[in-house]
């Protein structure tokens, strides 16, 4: 039985670990040719190795904050596989635990540069390609922090609210062109970014206490939602920030 993304070409940034890696594996399983991109070459190559013979896959190193890297990433994707049907803008960084007046300016710049400028640059180039070929799907990784406040993480919260805003506006601007744009808003998920929390029993208990479902999420649970948003099964969905958070933002 054909997969949900059979014969599609998918590009995933930040695919060297965590949600990005889980998404690359899920898209390959569903029949897509996959371009794995990350600044971490070792992690990206490992993701390609994990895909194995499930589908065609390659790693392309790219820094999403560098316009030349982003342009080359999309160009090489199309040269290698012929199109760009599904783009997942997942690369991001996180901060937390410091109130705004104590946060170094450099931290703000880094968070906004990767989480906002990176998504914006990728979307610009992806949309241009999708306009040429007559359509496509984009899914951005925002966060539950893109929908509600997160104490001690003003810069991160601002960046993820911006991703939701970029998503909604692009969805409206390009809906008539056959391009759907959505974003996922994960809650606490077991990734390298949250390792310091979920490996600490006390902090893990505090984290789980904030999740009505009673546990933290797995990267694969977010990846499955990204696959759905990238597939024809969600053909009437665009501009939507999908919470995948165990009920966190419902509180």
Q: CA 48 to CA 215: how far, in whole Å? A: 29
Residue positions annotated with a catalytic role: 156
Return the ∠ at Cα 163 (arms to 80 and 116), rounded to 5°: 75
Sign of the Cα torsion 184, 187, 190, 195 reads positive
Within 10 angstroms of residue 6's Cβ, the number of other Cβ atoms is 12
Sign of the Cα torsion 115, 46, 10, 32 reads negative
CA neighbours closer than 13 Å in the CB half-sphere of residue 88? 35
Q: CA 170 to CA 211: how far, in whole Å? A: 31
Q: CA 25 to CA 14: how far, in whole Å? A: 13
């Amino acid at each position: 039985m054909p997969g949900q993304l059979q014969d599609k070409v998918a590009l995933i940034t930040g695919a060297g670990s965590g949600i990005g890696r889980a998404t690359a594996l899920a898209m390959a399983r569903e029949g897509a040719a996959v371009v794995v991109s990350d600044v971490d070459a070792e992690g990206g190559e490992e993701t390609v190795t994990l895909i194995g013979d499930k589908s065609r896959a390659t790693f392309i190193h790219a820094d999403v904050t560098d316009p030349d890297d982003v342009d080359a990433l999309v160009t090489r994707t199309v040269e290698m596989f012929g199109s760009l049907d599904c783009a997942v803008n997942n690369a991001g960084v996180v901060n937390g635990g410091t109130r705004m007046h104590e946060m170094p300016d450099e931290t703000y710049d880094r968070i906004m540069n990767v989480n906002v400028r990176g998504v914006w640059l990728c979307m610009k180039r992806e949309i241009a390609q999708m306009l040429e070929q007559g359509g496509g799907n984009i899914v951005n990784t925002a966060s539950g922090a893109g929908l509600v406040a997160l104490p001690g993480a003003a810069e991160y919260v601002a960046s993820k609210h911006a991703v939701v805003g970029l998503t909604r506006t692009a969805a409206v601007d390009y809906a008539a062109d056959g391009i759907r744009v959505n974003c996922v808003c994960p809650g606490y998920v077991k990734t390298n970014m949250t390792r310091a929390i979920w490996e600490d029993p006390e902090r893990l208990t505090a984290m789980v206490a904030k999740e009505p479902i009673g546990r933290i999420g797995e990267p694969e649970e977010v990846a499955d939602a990204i696959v759905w948003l990238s597939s024809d099964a969600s053909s009437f969905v665009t501009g939507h920030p999908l919470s995948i958070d165990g009920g966190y933002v419902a509180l």
